[in-house]
Structure 1
Amino acid sequence: MWRSTIDFLSRSRRCYAIDLPGHGESGDRQHGWYSIRNLAGFVAEVCRKLAVEDPVLVGHSMGGTIALKIAASKLVEMSQIVAVNPLVRGGTWARSMNLKGKFLARLVMPMRMLWPITSRILDGPLRPFSRRWPIHVRRNREDLSRTSPDAALGAIRAVLM
């Protein structure tokens, strides 16, 4: 998703695309580690280790929420932040939809069992969409194949709780 954005922005500035734990090329973390606070701390630590000065943080969806958390917590001194469609943490939303507790418990086991085949669903029931948007489907399939079940479930918990 970020490749074309990075290609464009890197003409005038240094860009880093951070693979969050459990996503992309990064390693996984222990069960229960995934939260917006921990992910924000992870990104802040990467910025410190790379000695990035006055960064412009850009995040989409959950990444936007993480960038906002970093800014609000002042984990990194930054000049600008771009949060594209940040997810609103869902405590209020989850309560209103009655999604906490039992729902998440019921969701965990099927997702753990089905995660290895999730990306293949794009080739089955979603085949009509695959033909219409082949680039998007290919990117989603690649992203899903590089995300661990714990990271995916942790992201869901972080957003809903």
Structure 2
Amino acid sequence: MPLAVRIALALLLALALLWVVVQSRARTQEARAEAAFPPEGRILEVNGHRVHALSMGSGPDIVLIHGASGNLRDMTLSLAPRLAKRYRVTLLDRPGLGYTDRINRSGATIRQQAELLSDAARQIGVENPIVLGHSYGGAVALAWAVHRPDHIAALVPLSSPAKPWDSDLSAYYKLLSHPVLGPLVIPFLTAFVQDERVERAVESIFEPDPVPPGYIAHIGAPLTLRRNSLRANALQRAQLLDQITALQPALDALDLPIELVHGTADTTVGLHIHAEPLARQLDSASLTRLPGTGHMPQHADEDAVVAAIDRAAGRAGLHPAD
């Protein structure tokens, strides 16, 4: 056998062994993540998909939808328990994240996600909710308002995309959403990303605000590092601009109470690009600007978020219990 052939075979064998090791380590990391951060709620069967839902409290209904790279734990550190004193709070993991199944392998649209979560909420008796969505979850909430107008009382988008934008998709999301490179790279991230890297990423999302005490230990970031979650999240993010653009013609018809909350220092979803134009477009939309606040107002200025929810409830004729 020629030397070149032997070298090529040895390289292929080494790559195959490396792939086996990476996949094995990725499975181990995923098992550790799920053992450390089990479901906080119950698993529903909705349209053939498993949906993770958590309910707490009593009063007018509010549904909370988390953003990209997250899960419903983002809202259970403080906001949801506080709201549960006066509202019935339902939290839902978005498809592919937390413990909700992916809808498909190509990237669930914001409409598909909204319809699945709406059906899940109805299944547990939530009929006329305020729907709050943070960041990407706000885009899902907006699609909910457009496509399920009979199943929403008011809309509260936090730091949410609402209008088309010009900036390019980041290299990270381009890579992870690529049809060939994404599935090759993702197992290495699952297997080898260190806690310190995750902590730095969380800090960058909060800037200029501090990360709340206990947040990193509570949020369950390793759940997002699972292979399916990384892929689902990347595909969703890569397709979001086209879906937001397609949603625009339907926005003029929205007449439900909308309480927008957005930080002036948000560099992830720009206030001037999204919340301000939507507030100018819709007579039913009111905008609360949070001076100096970044992308995570549900933590950085929880009082302002709760006040916006209370205003939405009042405008919708839903009066929270004292």
Unaligned regions of 5+ residues in structure 2, if any?
1-73, 204-209, 243-322
Residues 32/75 of structure 1: CA separation in 2 closer, same or farther (3 Å cut) = farther
- Please, what TM-score do these two structures have when normalized by structure 1? 0.74
Q: Which moved more, 1:81-90 or 1:61-70?
A: 81-90
Instruction: Name the aligned partner's letter for residue 28 of structure 1.
Output: R
Indicate whether 1:43 and 2:43 are aligned: no
Say whether the 8 Å CA contact 2:133–2:140 is kept in structure 1: yes
Q: Quote the offset at 1:49 in angstroms.
A: 1.5
Map Cα deviations across residues 33-87 of structure 1 (whole Å, 9 max, x no partner): 4111111111111122123121011110111111111112235432211110112
Say whether the 8 Å CA contact 2:118–2:144 is kept in structure 1: yes
The 1-side partners of 2:188 and 2:199 are apart by: 16
Equivalent residue number for residue 141 of structure 1: 221
Larger radius of gyration: 2
Instruction: Name the aligned partner's letter for residue 77 of structure 1.
Output: H
Equivalent residue number for residue 166 of structure 2: 93
The 1-side partners of 2:99 and 2:198 are apart by: 28
Equivalent residue number for residue 57 of structure 1: 131
Equivalent residue number for residue 156 of structure 1: 237
More helix by share: 1
More strand by share: 2
The 2-side partners of 1:76 and 1:2 are apart by: 25
The 2-side partners of 1:145 and 1:76 are apart by: 36
Say whether the 8 Å CA contact 1:19–1:26 is kept in structure 2: yes
Q: Which moved more, 1:27-36 or 1:103-112?
A: 103-112
Map Cα deviations across residues 112-140 of structure 1 (whole Å, 9 max, x no partner): 2334147x33425866x87x846344326
Residues 154/124 of structure 1: CA separation in 2 closer, same or farther (3 Å cut) = closer
Within 5 Å, give how 1:9-158 maps onto structure 2.
Answer: 9-88=83-162, 90=164, 92-93=165-166, 97=168, 104-105=177-178, 108-109=182-183, 111-117=185-191, 120-124=193-197, 133=211, 135-138=214-217, 139=219, 141-145=221-225, 148-158=229-239
Residues 158/49 of structure 1: CA separation in 2 closer, same or farther (3 Å cut) = farther
Residues 11/34 of structure 1: CA separation in 2 closer, same or farther (3 Å cut) = same
Say whether the 8 Å CA contact 1:64–1:83 is kept in structure 2: yes
Identity of aligned residues (%): 20
Map Cα deviations across residues 121-160 of structure 1 (whole Å, 9 max, x no partner): 3425866x87x84634432624524671232122212324
Q: How many residues align?
A: 153
Unaligned regions of 5+ residues in structure 1, if any?
none
Residues 64/126 of structure 1: CA separation in 2 closer, same or farther (3 Å cut) = closer
The 2-side partners of 1:43 and 1:126 are apart by: 29
Say whether the 8 Å CA contact 1:41–1:75 is kept in structure 2: no
